[in-house]
């Protein structure tokens, strides 16, 4: 992979409390990172307008909203997101929601991603939530449903990326959070993988937040992630 290709596959999560913090992170990573994730924390602090600003400035934006609602509500939300210029949007991988979203996004360049099982959840968490599947089985079931619905990709742990890739084929995006360099702190993630192993497992994009955003030298941290990816 060329350096340019690597940068396109690294998504930095702007998991910070304020727009000022987000702007600082983007400024610190200028020239190294071109793809950013905006989730709930920043979205509710003006992050949606910031997403439009980043997209209009040439950056790629992954809007991590994990939508789930009745079909019409999901569809109307996706229609508006498609007009924002962002590149990716997540929704929970429930079949009806995915089918509604795919139809709403038709004709746009928005890549819809189905969230399978959160990387903060393990088997006991799923049991507590009432699921009868272990994480791997549920991930693969939802990956197949996402493929059938016509989604653009899947969000899953890099531990499951190889198995997911066999289900969804070579063309769909497989986006993996829970990425840590060897020896790094796992934080609230329970299923983590190194950047190089994630790429070997079939991940198309890696989402990295805390190891870069919380670093005293963000550029060096991002470059270390990219260097590890290159080993794959």
Residue ranges per domain, the chain? Answer: 3-230
The yes/no answer on whether domain 3-230 falls in CATH 3.20.20.70 is yes
pLDDT digits over 43-79, tens only?
999 999 999 999 999 999 999 999 999 999 999 999 9
Alpha-carbon distance of 36 to 13, in angstroms, equals: 6
Instruction: Please report which confidence band the pLDDT of residue 88 belongs to, taking 50, 70 and 90 as the band edges.
Output: very high
Task: List, in order, residues 6 or more apart from 217 with CB less than 8 Å away.
Answer: none
69 is in an annotated binding site: yes
Does the structure show a pLDDT above 80 at 122? no
98 is in an annotated binding site: no
72 is in an annotated binding site: yes
DSSP assignments along 137-195, one per residue: HHHHHHHHHHHHHT-SEEE--HHHHHHHHHHH-SSSEEEE--B--TT---TT-SS-B-H
Interval 29-44 mean pLDDT: 97
66 is in an annotated binding site: yes
Question: Is the distance from CB of 39 to CB of 17 less than 8 angstroms?
Answer: no
pLDDT digits over 199-216, tens only?
999 999 999 999 999 999
pLDDT digits over 4-19, tens only?
588 899 999 999 999 9
DSSP element (H, E) containing 64: strand 60-67
Alpha-carbon distance of 28 to 31, in angstroms, equals: 9
Alpha-carbon distance of 148 to 41, in angstroms, equals: 31
Sign of the CA dihedral 21, 27, 32, 34? positive
Query: Active-site residues: which are they?
Result: 64, 66, 69
Among left, alpha and beta (phi > 0; psi -120 to 50; other), residue 193 is beta
pLDDT digits over 157-194, tens only?
888 899 999 999 999 999 999 898 875 564 544 557 89
């Amino acid at each position: 992979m060329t350096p340019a290709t690597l940068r396109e596959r690294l998504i930095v999560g702007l998991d910070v409390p304020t727009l000022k913090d987000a702007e600082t992170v983007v400024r610190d990573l200028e020239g190294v990172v071109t793809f950013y994730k905006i989730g709930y924390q920043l979205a509710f602090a003006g992050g949606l307008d910031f997403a439009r600003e980043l997209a209009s400035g040439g950056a790629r934006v992954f809007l991590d909203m994990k939508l789930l609602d009745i079909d019409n509500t999901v569809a109307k939300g996706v229609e508006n997101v498609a007009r924002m210029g962002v590149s990716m949007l997540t929704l929970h991988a429930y079949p009806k929601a995915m089918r509604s979203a795919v139809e709403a996004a038709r004709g746009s360049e928005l890549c819809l991603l189905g969230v399978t099982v959160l990387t903060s959840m393990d088997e006991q968490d799923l049991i507590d939530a009432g699921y009868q599947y272990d994480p791997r089985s549920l991930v693969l079931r939802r990956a197949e449903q996402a493929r059938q619905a016509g989604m653009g990709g899947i969000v899953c742990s890099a531990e499951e990326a190889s198995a997911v890739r066999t289900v969804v084929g070579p063309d769909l995006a497989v986006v993996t959070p829970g990425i840590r360099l060897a020896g790094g702190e796992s934080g609230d993630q329970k299923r983590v993988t190194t950047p190089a192993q994630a790429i070997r497992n079939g991940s198309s994009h890696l989402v990295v937040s805390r190891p870069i955003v919380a670093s005293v030298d963000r550029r060096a941290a991002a470059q270390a992630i990219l260097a590890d990816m290159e080993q794959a």
